[in-house]
Amino acid sequence: MGVEIERKYLVDLKKWEKVDKPIPMHLVQGYIHKEPSKTVRVRVADTKGYITIKSKTTGISRFEYEYEVPLTDAREMLATFCGHIITKNRYNIVFADKLWQVDEFLGDNKGLYVAEIELKNEAEAFDMPDWIGEEVTSIKKYFNSYLSVQPYTTW
């Protein structure tokens, strides 16, 4: 059983601009099914395809199952089953021995930057880079599934 324990934060853009960043991964994703109790997501990450099933979040944890699928299948599923698509660039940044994933949203979500960190348990302590802002872990409007139908530029 896969469990994702994750916290999300807004990014301080003035400080983020000064960070030495790697080349980002380009993500295109959509939702085959989304409701509060479960989501089924299809994603193309550069040249790989994935399908992911996630349960409802309890606290900062949820069940997550992710499987690689052929790239052509992922692209077909996005085109056939997903009405609203999210595009973003993802930067993987290691800070204090922890991986931070910073998403720079594109398209209708342009201007939104969200940083995520996955933890081993809900009480795990970690250091935060100075470019981390407000925590938005439990705020629905920052969920990717929500952003797919209520984009950031419409708020």
Reported pTM: 0.95
pLDDT-derived band of residue 145, with 50, 70 and 90 as boundaries? very high
Contact present, 117 and 98 (Cβ < 8 Å): yes
Contact present, 104 and 24 (Cβ < 8 Å): yes
pLDDT-derived band of residue 103, with 50, 70 and 90 as boundaries? very high
Q: Which domain holds residue 102?
A: 3-154
Angle at 141 between CA 135 and CA 147, to 5 degrees: 120
pLDDT-derived band of residue 55, with 50, 70 and 90 as boundaries? very high
Residues 17-45 have a mean pLDDT of: 96
Question: How many angstroms separate the CA atoms of 84 and 34, rounded?
Answer: 11
Which of the following is catalytic: 9, 31, 113, 142? 31
Question: How many angstroms separate the CA atoms of 147 and 116, rounded?
Answer: 16
Using the predicted structure, report yes or no on whether residue 57 has a pLDDT greater than 80: yes
Tokens 């708020």 belong to residue: 155
Residues 104-116 have a mean pLDDT of: 98
pLDDT single digits (tens) 75-99: 999 999 999 999 999 999 999 999 9
3-state secondary structure of 123: coil
Per-residue burial over 70-99, b = 16 or more CB atoms within 10 Å of its CB, e = otherwise: eeeebeebbeeebeebbbbbebebebeeee
Q: Shortest CA distance to 49 belongs to which of 31, 67, 23?
A: 67
Using the predicted structure, report yes or no on whether residue 1 has a pLDDT greater than 80: no
- What percent of the chain is modeled with pLDDT above 90? 97
pLDDT value, residue 71: 98
Total tally of structural domains belonging to the chain: 1
Is 31 part of the annotated catalytic residue set? Answer: yes
Using the predicted structure, report yes or no on whether residue 2 has a pLDDT greater than 70: yes
Instruction: Specify the CATH number for the domain of residue 24.
Output: 2.40.320.10
Question: How many angstroms separate the CA atoms of 93 and 11, rounded?
Answer: 13
Using the predicted structure, report yes or no on whether residue 16 has a pLDDT greater than 90: yes
